[in-house]
Structure 1
Amino acid sequence: MKALLSVALVLSWSSGFIGAKLGTGSAPAATLLMWRFLPLTVVLAAVSVLLTRNAWRGMTAGVLGRQAVIGLLSQSAYLFTVYYAIQLGVSSGTTALIDGIQPLVAGALAGPLLRQYVSRGQWFGLWLGVGGAALVATADAAAGSGAAWWAYLVPFLGMLSLVAATFLQERSRRRVAPAVSMTVHCATSTVLFTALAVGTGSAVPPADPSFWFAVGWLAAVATFVAYGLYWLLLRRSGVTQVNTLMFLMAPVTAVWGAAAFGEPFGPRTVLGLGIGLAAALIVHRDGARRAARDRPTTGSEDRAAGRCGAVHRS
């Protein structure tokens, strides 16, 4: 069951980059995101009133405020940087690979933030992954994507936002039902993107059918399926195992983008993706070996379970 959920997460999350590429071809990122989240928030609010009312009991202003901040980082800031980078001309595969560095950064920061040991192998994997992303980015730029050099820094900001949200959720103490967290996150995004679209005069959607197809795709698959699966698997499997899946999204998106939009997929792109996957294997294998060494230690399994159980609390 967990394997099927993992495959579904990789495919649905990768589809978000493809939907962003399709939608931003006919409208600004703020417009696409506004119309993606407006209907979602209405639907989730109705579901909360009719079906999941009990999940909201005991939710204080502090708990909901913390969830709003997590949503602002993991959804609003993350998605806007991804969409904006693609709007600027960065290919969907390159954006996905830069986003895929997130587990390496999370692993490197696990030491100072969660007081977990970070080995030399993990640090090596981090810098190897950064090198792979840089190689793909330069290949993308050399292929004439039309994006300015600073456009490739935009998805890095989104990746850091997702890292921050992951650690904020990991350090939370209060358990929050997925129906509550998703509703709060989507409502936060709706308010932010509506204000941004109205403020920039881009709230009116285009009549292009591809725009509305992208909106439906992103709302149904990239939000309900991908975003929901991310937090579900994070709760069941922990940060390390879920974040390792992020590395599979870059090659899937790169192949998908090349087939659907003719995006660059030359030897340098393949090499960069390969380096990224190698970095993921190094980090994951090093972490697994360390976990195996620590398992006989008294109390180590209880502490590990406690860290995984902290997910989805606020």
Structure 2
Amino acid sequence: MTALVAAAGLVVMWSSGFVGARLGTAEAPADTLLAWRYLAAAAILVAIVVVRRPRWRRADLPRQALLGLLCQCLYLAGVVTGVGLGVPAGVAALIAVLQPLVVGALAGPVLGERVRPRQWLGLAAGVGGVGLVVAGDAAVGGPPLGYALVAGGMLALSAGTLLERRWRLATPLLDSLTIHCLVSAAVFVASAALAGRLAPPAGAGFWWAVAWVVVLSTFGGYGCYLLALRIFGATGASTLLYLTPPTTMLWALSMFGERIGWLGVVGLVACAGSVWLVLSANGRLRWTRGRWRSSSTRRVEPAFPSSRSPTPTPRSAPTRVT
């Protein structure tokens, strides 16, 4: 059940970030939105940490900080800045979801995970499905720098994904997210301040967008991503991101009235099929007795560890996908 909640939550919450970016950048520059997003998120998480007073392993802090820099700072900076320079959102989404192919290609030598032929078929089908979803944007141009930034953001998220699985840190989910948000807040606040764009606009629309991306995208999206990494592994969690462009399309339909063409519907089906191929091939999800069930037996670190067990329990050796 945890696996299904993590998968569904990742797809829905990660997709909400594209909607929040549209809402926020209509009110203020991207770096202003990102700075206040992470200031708010970090303030909430630090308040929780002060109350909980967890015991963090000092050796894990630099690694968690690097993961936050890669998976949140550099990924978002690359994608959002690239879109701001003129890269169509659909094309940016297509470049971003090349990440599962990068992770799949490197999962063997870096993590020891075997990617089976059926999974490669699913990864390739996912790229094709996303291509159909964003086909309407493909003919629109954009500056080379913008495309390079989006690709760089995708590679940063891929690197963070692989490092998280290789290190297998015992830091609870909530504490990991706190460290990541603190690092992101420091980077984005400094960037916006140096550019003279830190001051927020006075309109309520900006703060509504900030609330949206803090609750849904940061806490929901990245929280579910970290959880999905621990349940499905690097290849499985990355593959779920194939469902984010079509899900974003559904968000846009409900909130902005953007119609879905037949290519989008076909692409949505192809994306769903690709995710099923990858996850069912490694036994993570199976259709049994009329419902989806998870066959994963891996232990997931709780968000709030027991006060009677202050020392993190060492993780077992990485699971080889067969």
TM range (shorter): 0.7 to 0.9
Distance 1:37 1:239, change over 3 A: same
Contact 2:118/2:277 (8 A) holds in 1: yes
Contact 2:82/2:145 (8 A) holds in 1: no
Q: 1:260 aligns with which of 250, 255, 258?
A: 255
Q: CA deviation at 1:261?
A: 3.6
Give the residue type in structure 1 aligned to 2:231. Answer: R
Distance in 1 between residues matched to 2:144 and 2:263, nearest whole Å = 18
Deviations 1:226-261 (A, max 9, x none): 211221232234334433322222211012224434
Structure-2 residue corresponding to 1:7: 8
Q: CA deviation at 1:175?
A: 1.2
The answer to whether residue 67 in structure 2 is matched with residue 79 in structure 1 is no
Deviations 1:180-207 (A, max 9, x none): 2112111110111011101112111122
Distance 1:39 1:308, change over 3 A: farther
Higher helix fraction (1 or 2): 1
The normalised TM-score by structure 2 is 0.77
Distance in 2 between residues matched to 1:167 and 1:269, nearest whole Å = 30
May I ask how many residue pairs the two structures share in their alignment?
Answer: 292
Distance 1:87 1:266, change over 3 A: farther
Question: What runs of 5+ residues in structure 2 fail to find an aligned partner?
Answer: 285-296, 299-314
3-state SS of paired residue (1:175)? coil
Contact 1:34/1:193 (8 A) holds in 2: yes
Ranges of 4+ aligned residues in structure 1 off by more than 6 Å? none
The answer to whether residue 158 in structure 2 is matched with residue 157 in structure 1 is no
Q: Please tell me the root mean square deviation across aligned C-alpha atoms, in Å.
A: 3.2
Question: What runs of 5+ residues in structure 1 fail to find an aligned partner?
Answer: 290-300, 310-314
Q: CA deviation at 1:78?
A: 1.4
Moved more, 175-184 or 153-162: 153-162
Structure-2 residue corresponding to 1:25: 26
Q: 1:68 aligns with which of 36, 61, 65?
A: 65
Moved more, 66-75 or 36-45: 36-45
The normalised TM-score by structure 1 is 0.79
Structure-1 residue corresponding to 2:186: 191
Q: CA deviation at 1:23?
A: 0.6
After the TM superposition, which residues 223-238 of structure 1 pair with which residues of structure 2 at under 5 Å, given as runs?
Answer: 223-238=218-233
Structure-1 residue corresponding to 2:310: none
Distance 1:253 1:93, change over 3 A: farther
3-state SS of paired residue (1:176)? coil
Distance in 1 between residues matched to 2:116 and 2:231, nearest whole Å = 25
Q: CA deviation at 1:66?
A: 0.9
Distance in 2 between residues matched to 1:168 and 1:74, nearest whole Å = 10
